[in-house]
Amino acid sequence: MILQPIQSKITQYFGENPGQYGYDKNGHKGLDFRAPLGTAVVAGSTGVATIRDSGSQGFGLHVLIHCGQTELTAPGLRMSGDITLIYGHLSQGLEGVPSPELRSVKAGAVLALSGNSGNSTAPHLHFEIRIDGEAIDPLPFLERGAVTSKYGFQIQKPNYPAWLLQHVARSKCRWVKIINPDYGRASPFGTSMQYLGRFHCGLGEPDKELMWRGSAGADAYWAMIKPRVDVCPWLYAIEGPNEPAVDTIAKAQLFSDFYSRLCDIFHAAGKRIAAGVFSTGQPDPALWPYLHRGIVKADYVALHEYGMHRMVLDGWHLLRYRKLIEWAEQARVAIPLILITETGIDYAGDPINDGWQAQGISSTEYLRQLVSYDIATQEDPEVLALLPFVWMHDGWPSFEMNEEISRQLADYMSKWASESVEEAIGQDAQRVVLPLNPNAAFEKAGTLKGYLPASPETDLVYGGVTYRYQVYRHPSERTYQHIIYCPVGHWGDVKWIRRSN
């Protein structure tokens, strides 16, 4: 794998903003990292480096590392060829070496200082990986430390072939979504994961129309699905009506009336609910102030995020959930944790022509795109799960997650297994975790802000590395602990563990 050049947030992803890159319809060819002027940039790999300067054009002052004919590997992924790394918009690079002389560099050595040279609108670092001259998405191949994939599985028809059972088990996924869970057997993949159910209510989806009756519609909806819910006590949580078209303030207010009542009904029945279930590109961010009353009582917010022809992390189709997080932070209100309950590629909803299999890409390329999305969401602990659509399809052939892509996804997920250090931290955390006291003044005040610290910061030495962790709780998930941790000194690379009490 390639070392990340700086420990900072990504501000522009691979493939973003094709309209700004007229020479290439595929958009941005690398990753942009936020970087104040003069930030140290490290070499991602051992190789031969050279410095170049294109003045006010292109990358400006930039460094290339030629790695030669070699292989890039990441969990579940492998690519080979003539590999070059590019670091652009620098202020200083390869000190003491005039252009275009060469220098051997080792992975991890300070290579350059970030800047704002070339065609750049603000200080940042542009980073590319090229294989045989072609730019690829660097994100899957960056060394990120121990992470746990957020991917799970989503099943449409109650058909569980041996290969699917095997891949789900091997993936060690935390979530499985079952559409019409009452049609099949209980807990079909065992009891080590959490099951999310969605009840399809027939042609025309009459359940969605009930939303526009507000609180009365919530009672009618519960009466509609309750007999089916009752035969699925093994479900951990249940989604509300699928992809409502909330496009006006009036509808947003009815949405909130509906879900405010429905959450009360679910909780009185001892059930968890995932509210929203908004389609890609929905809702308009301006409507969140009117929708908040409907989601704040829910256990989760469910969102759908698809790329169109590719999974471009553009912040509008994919990573759109960040608009909700940003709004909540600005409004200083709490929101439930987020489940991305459908994702993948979907141009316009045509089952035959718009899924990933109709885009002319291989399963390996699709996996690379899925991996980039997974890695990007690691920055956001508010997101718990990513559930591609769909396994065992019922009329959605171009979306089908077949045996090949399932094997590749399970390979990726299983190879990211970080259970050893996470189990050690989770176990050690039990010494210091604080019991909840929801009637205490401090906890009441913290809950209003969405914060529930549950332990002091604590250090643990594991495998010769000192990790620091702290336990938090979220108001909507009182049966779980959320433990944040990272190696001491690596404050830009924090990870989260979700653990039962």
User: Would 399 be classed as within a structural domain?
Assistant: yes
Of the candidates 79, 111, 143, which is a domain's last residue? 143
Q: Please compute Rg for the chain using Cα positions.
A: 24
Asked if residue 148 belongs to a domain, the reply is no
Is 128 found in the same domain as 165? no
What pLDDT shows up at residue 22?
A: 47
pTM reported for the whole predicted model: 0.74
Which H helix or E strand runs over 228?
helix 214-230
Question: CATH number of the domain that 130 lies in?
Answer: 2.70.70.10
Q: What is the DSSP secondary-structure string of 363-411?
A: HHHHHHHHHHHHHHHTT-TTEEEEEES-BS-SS-GGG---HHHHHHHHH
Whether residue 317 is contained in a domain is answered as yes
Q: What range defines the domain where residue 241 resides?
A: 153-417
> What's the structural domain count of the chain?
3
Q: Which residues pair with 87 in a beta bridge?
A: 63, 127
- What pLDDT is attached to residue 144? 67
On whether both 278 and 241 belong to a single domain, the answer is yes
User: Quick one: pLDDT at residue 100?
Assistant: 57
Query: 51-102: per-residue pLDDT in tens?
Result: 888 877 788 999 999 998 989 888 778 889 999 999 999 988 765 554 556 7
- Which residues of the chain have a pLDDT value below 50? 22-24, 98, 418-419
DSSP state of 213: G
Is residue 127 domain-shared with residue 255, that is, in the same domain?
Answer: no
Predicted confidence at residue 164, as pLDDT, reads 98
User: Do 413 and 444 sit in the same domain of this protein?
Assistant: no
Give the end of a domain, one of 391, 417, 443.
417
Same domain, 323 and 429: no
Same domain, 163 and 286: yes
Q: What per-residue confidence (pLDDT) applies to 23?
A: 42
186 in the same domain as 232: yes
Q: Under a CB-based contact definition with an 8 Å cutoff, are residues 357 and 401 in contact?
A: no
pLDDT of residue 486: 86
CATH number at residue 206: 3.20.20.80
Looking at residue 457, its pLDDT comes to 84
295 shares a domain with 408: yes
Q: Pick the last residue of a domain from 143, 162, 196.
A: 143
58 and 42 in one domain? yes
Contact (CB, 8 A) for 409 and 152: no
Query: Are 426 and 388 in the same domain?
Result: no
* Domain identity same for 351 and 279: yes
SS (H, E, C) 41-95: EECCCCEEEEEEECCCCCCCEEEEEEEEEEEEEECCEEEEEEEEEEEECEEEECC
91 and 240 housed in the same domain: no
What pLDDT was estimated at residue 24? 45
Token pair 């052939």 in the structure block, residue: 397
Per DSSP, 301 falls in state E
